[in-house]
Amino acid sequence: MYKGRVTKRMFADFEVYWRWLAASINEAARPSSLQGQCAIPKRLQFSPVSLPDLLPHLYMLEHTAGEAWQPRLVGEALSGRGAGAGASGPTVAFAAVNQLGLIAEMQKHVCEQPCGALLRVDGVFLDGAKWSVTCKFLPLAANDGAHKYIVGLAKIEPLQGSATHHSKLLTVMPQNENGLQSAELVDCYYFDVGFGAPA
């Protein structure tokens, strides 16, 4: 049992499950032009209940049009259901980080390439609270094969002490409704799931 905390093992298990789904796609059912190539699991193949310990920390977004991403699944730990989220608790930290332009750009690359991505952003809020948000996300396909979904696992934890690192400061728009004052990109990279990865 993971006991509510997201661990490195959970991030690994999340990717292992996704890769297992990709490998289990029946070769015979795929068009001959794609035989022997990697496959992207379909949204309907991805069963969040197959990952019960991860479920509270999972989310799924659909790329609908332009820069718009619509939530299709948001786990309890990320949505605030069942938790008393304060002025800038985990729920607010997750929502604030997802308003940053970098996140939407990475999500778009994950669908277009397709590839996987991991990022960590540390944020300071107007009330002085400091939160670290780490997300690993992977692409999913619609029934027609279009890569328009991402599924992610998020780790959100309070930061102790200073939130400063030798990393890139991100621009926070004044209209960030979640009270995010400053954000710092601590880690960010794409990884190959069979189709290459952006540099």
Q: Please name the helix (run of DSSP H) or strand (run of DSSP E) that holds residue 193, with its range, or none.
A: none
Report the C-alpha gap between 41 and 145 in whole angstroms.
9
Lowest-confidence pick of 82-86, 96-100, 168-172: 82-86
**With 50 as the cut, is the pLDDT of residue 163 above it?**
no
pLDDT tens for 31-74 read: 555 544 568 999 999 999 999 999 999 999 998 877 778 889 98
Tell me the two tokens of residue 99.
């308003």
Query: From the DSSP assignment, how many helices (H) and strands (E) are in the chain?
Result: 4, 7
Residue among 116, 122, 199 at smallest CA distance from 156: 122
pLDDT for the residue 103: 82
Strands lying side by side in the sheet with 58-65: 68-74, 58-65, 147-158, 130-141, 116-125, 180-191, 168-170
pTM of the model: 0.83
